[in-house]
Structure 1
């Protein structure tokens, strides 16, 4: 992980857009540069949570960052808290930007697929690709035109002709059809997908079944349904000289913290990568959505917020 300092940023503007999405602009002194696909980590002190939000602002913009936040009452309280506190003039503790979803700018063909609030990183990517003069198509899927945030911006954008909207409640012919709307597989064709887990799994599975290389199907999960429970196993923190038992309802990160071994955890769902830890020995039961298949096969790192072990794990802690 790249170390970044905590910044105090000010909410300079807020637009409450369609579909319960707040578009929030953040300003501060000497903002670090941004690449398309980057996100910010925002700390919410009242609920003691860190949450990650993708940047939708132009990567070339140096005066502000913009994020889009869906108010989701079914979440663990992060988005509701952001909607409550992110009023003009408010200050937020922010880390980043970090980018685990980088854009392959040399691709000959790029297809961006956003479902709901998953559109946010796609907008930044579209702006960057347009600036580079690269061909791309942006597919934006929502339940209805009435809940389609950023609609006005995208229909007025200089790349509006490259944006295709798909709404569940309109003519079935305009719905996303992956057999029709995905290009033929090619080493120079890259796909990017972000949205609800079911949407992402459908796109990823369909793309790979059609022959697109896993490495060319880029994905970023903003949340995941993760099962944290499982059989009891042991974890040895070798550098610390401790061996701990992880029970069926424990997580490695929480058990380590109880014994004074601090591993930074933010999402608690295995999507942000903050807690990735080196594994020296043992069989990992991966539960995250962050590591790639290749990284999992290597067997030398894991997300300790949610993944588990089979038997005994030895960690480099």
Structure 2
């Protein structure tokens, strides 16, 4: 008798939510609810939101009416309830909160299990302090405090390393996440159009290739109530650098894209190009 074997389990599916978040948290949460309904219907195990998913507002006086310490904020609890409602793990993208001492804002991600429990937090480390060729001026550090800790968390998709937007440009951060066991990386973002057109795809693919990780980058897109425009193109990139899904510059209220996360692909990419072995064998210290 020929022995029977069970077919391989289907790879878990990631869903990325591309949004055009605005200055009304209640409206943004309603959009997230609709998007998670679609993610659950599409068979996703985990949904990923963009940076500043619950509130995107560069007017500091106006936004300040909403931004409080995490313990006083209704937003994490609202997302926990949505995770339970839809039976999905959820990466919050990020939200603006006050630091515990109330002195500055922080840009914080949460990873929430399908039972509503929070499994990880991450505060954005690198602040977007730049003057772009387009004339745009951004000085995040004037209002936001930098985080000081890395975060890697076990999820249904694998071990997820956390980062946010401008962190993308610091390759050493991602090497450190891999050293802590990451096989996939979240990079929620609200990228400017000018930097997105120049750098978004190449940097996302580079981070995937150099780490042998899946990259999951949910992004803001389009024109926003506070006057800014963001690039969109939420991406799911595999560890070989192939783009599995791209939300393009779809200016709808939201768009959901999907891709299976096949754990074996990370091992295959790392075995094909054994960067760790090459580092161990080099004769110089960098």
**Same fold flag (TM > 0.5):** no
Greater RCO between the two (CA within 8 Å, min separation 6)?
2
Q: Which structure dedicates a bigger proportion of its chain to helix?
A: 2
Greater Rg over alpha carbons, structure = 1
Structure showing the higher strand proportion among its residues: 1
What's the TM-score bracket when you normalise by the shorter of the two chains?
Answer: 0.3 to 0.5
